[in-house]
Amino acid sequence: MRRYFEAGVDRRGALIGEGIALAEERRVAMKALIPTDPSGALRNAVPMVVRQQLPEAVLSKLEERISARGFYGVAAVVPESGKDLEGSPYQRQAVLQDGSRYEVYTFGERLAQVTTAQSVMSGVAVDGVMALDEKRVRPLENGEIPDPRKPVEAACPVSGKAVLAAAKEGALPPITKETPAAEVAGTIHYLCEGGHIVDLEQKVTAAEGGSGGGIKPVGSAGGWTWGPKTLLYIRVAFPDTLKEPQSEAAAYEMLRASSDFFIENSYGKLSLVPTVTPLLILSKTEAYYTQKGGVHELRADALALAREMGYDVDSYDLDSVAYTGGPGSFGGMAWVGAKGVWMKSFSSRIESHELGHNFGVWHSNFWETEGRSVIGMGRNVEYGNVFDTMGSASPADGHFCAQFKSRLGWLSSDQTLERVTRSGVYRLTAFDQPRLESGKRYALVIPKDDKREYWAEFRQRSHGGNLAIRDGIVLNFAPWGAWGSSSVEGSNGGVHLLDTTPGSRDGVKDAPLVIGRTYSDWDSNIHITPVGKAGTVPESMDVVVNLGPFPLNHAPTLSLSASSWNVAVGGTVTLAASAADEDG
């Protein structure tokens, strides 16, 4: 590029061929960079002030600049039974208003965004692969000349003041520090001052419903997670195989079990009203969808077939498309925060897990530490919570964790949660039951630091006769820190199950903190001890929480004695233990 700009006008033509070749090489490198480092791809994009001086033959080979509004989809994936997941547990895509579709890779704030029907997007793309900026607003560069083909707003969108009197048809002057501007969904906005870009970003984000950007409200009475939800279950087959994924009767039975799960999980606040279609035959072959069309075209075609059969597809709150073979190496996949499920494995666990994503929650994960630390250095294990259906548990036992239930509006913070701010004894009632009772507490929330908080919950479902669950409490971290399926600094949007017995033979299955054991977080001066069941119906656990360093605390004392030190085979011996705590 430097040689091109330094060359005289009469000599530049000879360099265009070389420029095209270099741009094509760069395009290949950029396409490889986007999935691994989308932030780096944006930083390395050709500056606009340079692009605007390049010949069209070279410019057409460079990455495409995106500033548009469209559908932003986040799909959560469950691996096939007995197989490891191929790739990321979350897949993102964008469909712009002009119909162009992109496989999306992003970073930062965007990773927390759920599926959004109309989102403002800014980024760069190569051959259908987009690096999406975490910010929706693109500040124009100093020296950049606003594209005359794009709409221009001369009034500052933050203050409302007219900024550019000369904002009229024809060429506009280059951007300077005195005339800042930003691009939002293909429209140029002039600003009073550069600092207004932050305000504009907040304004645009808020218009989408906040940083989460969900299509429907999450966790409000009468909203997306309350009431009876109609579900259209579409069974499809490929014309060249005609393989039925599941019988109509089996589908109804699976959906009945899933509805029962949600009725109990939500304490009667949410239920499913399913409709199962006859087997519908897709118009294209299995090979077509596998090699070209993909899962999104398959779902679109399934919905179109259902419409032709007379189903008012848009009137259903939820929909699932069931098929066997074809595209997608997963057991199930779903949009996060919006309707839409793909089913390739058929069980109420998979359906309930995927619908949980539709309602707006991510995965329930496990914090795997190094050595024998509970919360020290470690890594995120996706789906690693073995007690939660949003992890790897089965619906029969695997109620959503208390933090997810709170997010979905099923456990309201003013009535059922206790935020622990002082030392004391707290009674924690089992929350994995069909109903709530007034005046009882179903989760303890204990702040740790500015990033994390503990959520303590008491489960009484058997989980295969797990004694640690029966006689202990489960500790989770609420969603925290960075995103990324193998993150060492966060929970990838989900909760983190903590293993209070790290390194044990039973692995994560004995993660609960059992009666009589104390978990101490010395960095934050938090000490948690379940001291015994209360014998209530439903059962509850009394938990002592001590907050503080307690520098004058004394260690407890213990003496152990036996009635005899030499006991014959089959004889009787009496053991006695006496313990005391000077500080009570």
Tell me whether the omega of the peptide bond preceding residue 538 falls within 30 degrees of 0, making it cis: yes
What does the block give as tokens for 275? 């409709």
d(CA 46, CA 23): 10
Residues 483, 90: Cα–Cα separation, whole Å: 11
What is the overall mean pLDDT for the chain?
92
Amino acid identity for residue 98 in this structure:
D
pLDDT tens for 315-326 read: 999 999 999 999
Give pLDDT, residue 84.
Answer: 77
Name the residue with higher pLDDT: 426 or 167.
426
Instruction: Identify whether the C-beta of residue 151 lies closer than 8 Å to the C-beta of residue 117.
Output: no
Specify which residues 34 forms β-bridges with. Answer: none
**pLDDT (0 to 100) of residue 58:** 87
216 pLDDT above the threshold of 50: no
Specify the DSSP element, H or E, that contains 443: strand 443-447
Q: Report CA torsion sign: 83, 85, 89, 90.
A: negative
Q: How confident is the model at residue 221 (pLDDT cuts 50, 70, 90)?
A: very low
Average pLDDT over residues 379-403: 95
Stretch 219-237: mean pLDDT = 85
Output phi, psi for 87, to 5 deg: 90, -160
Distance CA 179, CA 189 (A): 11
Does 2 have pLDDT greater than 90? Answer: no
**For the CA atoms of 33, 35, 39, 40, what is the dihedral angle to 10 degrees?**
-10
Q: Would you place residue 211 in the very low, low, confident or very high pLDDT band (cuts 50, 70, 90)? A: very low
Going by pLDDT thresholds of 50, 70 and 90, the confidence category of residue 22 is: confident
Band (pLDDT 50/70/90 cuts) for residue 215 is: very low
Query: Helix 248-265 to helix 348-359 angle, to the nearest 10 degrees?
Result: 50
Residue-wise pLDDT tens digits, 446-474: 999 999 999 999 999 999 999 999 999 99
Cβ atoms of 285 and 243 closer than 8 Å: no
For 175-199, what is each residue's pLDDT tens digit? 999 999 999 999 999 999 889 999 9
Question: With bands split at pLDDT 50, 70 and 90, how would you rate the model's confidence at 12?
Answer: low
SS3 262: helix
Q: What is the DSSP string of 213-253?
A: --SS-SS-TTSTTSEEEEEEEEEEE-TTT---SS-HHHHHH
Our CA angle for 508, 511, 517, nearest 5°, is 150
383's CB contacts (< 8 A; 6+ apart) are 78, 89, 363, 364, 365, 391, 392
Report the relative pairing of strands 378-381 and 341-343 from DSSP bridges.
unpaired
Question: Is the pLDDT confidence value at 17 over 80?
Answer: no
Percent of the chain whose predicted confidence (pLDDT) is above 90: 79
Q: pTM score > 0.85 for this model?
A: yes
Q: How many Å apart are CA 439 and CA 265, to the nearest integer?
A: 19
Section 510-516 average pLDDT:
97
Cα 280 from Cα 206, distance rounded (Å): 41
Q: Give the pLDDT confidence of 41-92 residue by residue, as tens digits.
A: 999 999 999 999 888 888 999 999 999 999 999 999 998 877 777 778 999 9
pLDDT digits (tens, 9 = 90+) for 99-125: 999 999 999 999 999 999 999 999 999
pLDDT per residue over 242-299, tens digit each? 999 999 999 999 999 999 999 999 999 999 999 999 999 999 999 999 999 999 999 9
For range 417-422, the mean pLDDT: 94
Nearest to 546 by CA among 531, 532, 530, 528: 528
**Residue 477, beta-bridge partner list:** 454, 496
* Amino acid (one-letter) located at 294: G
* No. of helices (H) and no. of strands (E), the chain: 12, 29
CA 501 to chain centre: 27
Please name every residue paired with 8 in a beta bridge, in sequence order, or none if there are none: none
pLDDT tens digit string along 532-552? 999 999 999 999 999 999 888
pLDDT at 218: 46
Tell me the C-alpha distance between 108 and 135, whole Å. Answer: 9
User: Would you give the DSSP letter of residue 289?
Assistant: I
User: 228 — phi, psi (to 5°)?
Assistant: -70, 135
Which residues partner with 378 through β-bridges?
369
Q: What whole-number distance in Å separates Cα of residue 138 and Cα of residue 453?
A: 35
The Cα–Cα gap between 162 and 433 comes to 60
Q: What is the mean pLDDT of residues 510-524?
A: 96
> Residues 140-175: pLDDT tens digits?
999 999 998 999 998 999 999 888 765 454 568 899
Tokens 């939660």 identify what position?
A: 388
Pairwise pLDDT comparison (7 vs 428), residue with the higher score = 428
Residue 6 above 70 pLDDT? Answer: no
Query: Token digits for 228?
Result: 């009876």
Distances (CA, A) of 271 to 228, 259, 318, 326, 416: 5, 5, 12, 31, 21
Find the range with the poorest average confidence among 61-70, 212-221, 447-456, 522-531.
Answer: 212-221
Confidence of residue 217 (pLDDT cuts 50, 70, 90): very low
